[in-house]
Amino acid sequence: MSVKGHVVIVDAYHPTRRLAPEFIKAGYACVRVQSTPEVPKVYRSTFSLDNYVADIVHHGDLAETVRAVSAYDPVAVVPGGEFGVEFADVLSEAMSLPTNGTALSPARRDKYTMVETVKKAGVRGSEQILVTDEQELRDWHTKLGRRVVVKPIRSTGGDGIHFCDTPEESVAAYRTLSRAENFFSIGNEGVVAQEYLVGGEYVVNTVSRDGHHHVTDIWKTTRITANGVLDLCDSVHLLARRSPEGEALGRYAEQVLDALGIQHGPGHLEVKLTPDGPCLVEAAARIAGGDIPYYASLGTGSSQIDWTVDAYVAPERFHERRLTDYVVEQHFASVAMISPVSGTLRRFRHLDTIEKLESVHEIRPLLAPGDTIRPTVDDLTYPLIVNLRHEVAEIVLRDYGTLRFLDGEGLYELS
């Protein structure tokens, strides 16, 4: 089969491994660009160059990297994940390809700048400060008078998030984060403190072309308090596009995309639906991680990935169908087990019961016998994922409740 052209994917790693195969299926060869000389430590064990005809490593000289990439005459530059968002902006702008540009790049990665940019555009955002010293944080929290969230300005996967009820807790979190490395093994560049938003939390995934947006899937998250974490995500449930929540979230998401200058490609937004309406937690100019696009395809027949392919290499098709809403054909939930234990895992108990659940689609152990298991505190420490899928929503909800009943100390047998 002849190749129609080349697509550059910046910093493609395991969480977005399904992106390149969809471009290949559409007839395009993929070139990988790595924005740093070294692969981030967190991705080294799963790093693969499968699906790429070339791997170009950027060593700091943009002109040299542009020359190397230009040899493939690419039609698009696509971010391969959170780590590659800013360099994808740099490269696409330098090569005069469809781009979100570099003017607002920091607002698409820096969580403080992001919210300030949204508010400047007249879109609702949380009260916050960029923390520069302990006394400033203590005074701000005291004046706010309610719970706050303290987190790094750049990270992903729930890494480094602290829920703080008192100024003393906020200061302690700031001290911890100031000394810590983020998910990508880079020392935290700054810390932001934000008001804690009360309400359900949702994920809104989008794809844009020429400033026109399409909502590809919306997910409602469920949260529990466990292992000292107030809002620990334990599941995501696919939500109908034209549900009351979906309507409000979709309108708000488009306002945020415009404010952040996301005109081309995927967007991933985390939004709280508060009593006063939607309010941004954070956003990213990339596809969703955690296999969410794949799950969306199982529930709706399409996903953020195939819409991303259309946006970059088949814009006419994107515009022809962007006003068509997705329809939930199969109700889907991805449920994370929450470990309360520490030690060496011998086995998961109750797997035979889980396998018999009516809506069970897939059981994905993230730990094997002999691995070290720790209490789950974020998206990176789940021991086991169970995916549920059924044409009747109530069956999925019932089986989700059963999984929560089975989880706990009794699920994990330790050596």
Strands (E) in 275-374, as ranges, are 277-284, 331-336, 343-348, 360-365, 372-373
Location of each CATH 3.40.50.720 domain in the chain: 5-99
pLDDT tens per residue across all 415 residues of the chain: 689 999 999 999 988 999 999 999 999 999 999 999 999 988 898 999 999 999 999 999 999 999 999 999 999 999 999 999 999 999 999 999 999 999 999 999 999 999 999 999 999 999 999 998 999 999 999 999 999 999 998 876 667 899 999 999 999 999 999 887 766 666 677 899 999 999 999 999 999 999 999 999 999 999 999 999 999 999 999 999 999 999 999 999 999 999 999 999 999 999 999 999 999 999 999 999 889 999 999 999 999 999 999 999 999 999 999 999 999 999 999 999 999 999 999 999 999 999 999 999 999 999 999 999 999 999 889 999 999 999 999 999 999 999 999 999 999 999 9
For residue 50, how many C-alpha atoms fall within 13 Å in the half-sphere facing its CB?
9
Joined together, the tokens standing for residue 101 give 């540009």
For residue 293, how many C-alpha atoms fall within 13 Å in the half-sphere facing its CB?
25
| 3-class SS of residue 39 | coil
Domain 5-99 in CATH: superfamily?
NAD(P)-binding Rossmann-like Domain (3.40.50.720)
| 3-class SS of residue 90 | helix
d(CA 25, CA 29): 9
Location of each CATH 3.30.470.20 domain in the chain: 200-414
pLDDT of amino acid 362: 97
DSSP-derived secondary structure letter, 326: P
d(CA 315, CA 218): 23
d(CA 343, CA 297): 36
Architecture in CATH of 127-195: 2-Layer Sandwich (3.30)
Give bridge partners of residue 220 from the DSSP assignment.
202, 237
What is the DSSP pairing of strand 5-10 with strand 74-79?
parallel
Q: Are 12 and 83 in contact (CB under 8 A)?
A: no
| Nearest CA-CA partner of 42 in 183, 186, 187 | 183
What residue has token string 């086995």?
A: 347
d(CA 173, CA 408): 27
CA distances from 393 to 264, 332, 358, 401, 407 (A): 34, 8, 12, 13, 21
CA distances from 287 to 64, 265, 341 (A): 28, 8, 32
Domain 200-414 in CATH: superfamily?
ATP-grasp fold, B domain (3.30.470.20)
d(CA 395, CA 47): 38
Alpha-carbon Rg for the chain, nearest whole angstrom, is: 21
DSSP-derived secondary structure letter, 181: B
Location of each CATH 3.30.1490.20 domain in the chain: 127-195
Q: What is the full DSSP assignment across 36-93?
A: SSS--GGGGGG---TT-SEEEE--S-HHHHHHHHHTT-EEEEEE-SGGGHHHHHHHHH
pLDDT of amino acid 290: 83
pLDDT of amino acid 189: 75
3-class SS string, 128-139: EEEECCHHHHHH
pLDDT of amino acid 186: 66
pLDDT of amino acid 48: 93
Q: What is the largest CA-CA distance in the chain?
A: 65
> CA angle at residue 181 from 45 to 130, to 5 degrees?
140
Backbone phi, psi, residue 213, to 5°: -115, 150
| Nearest CA-CA partner of 414 in 351, 340, 356, 354 | 340
Q: Are 218 and 269 in contact (CB under 8 A)?
A: no
Backbone phi, psi, residue 55, to 5°: -130, 115
Q: Are 73 and 95 in contact (CB under 8 A)?
A: no
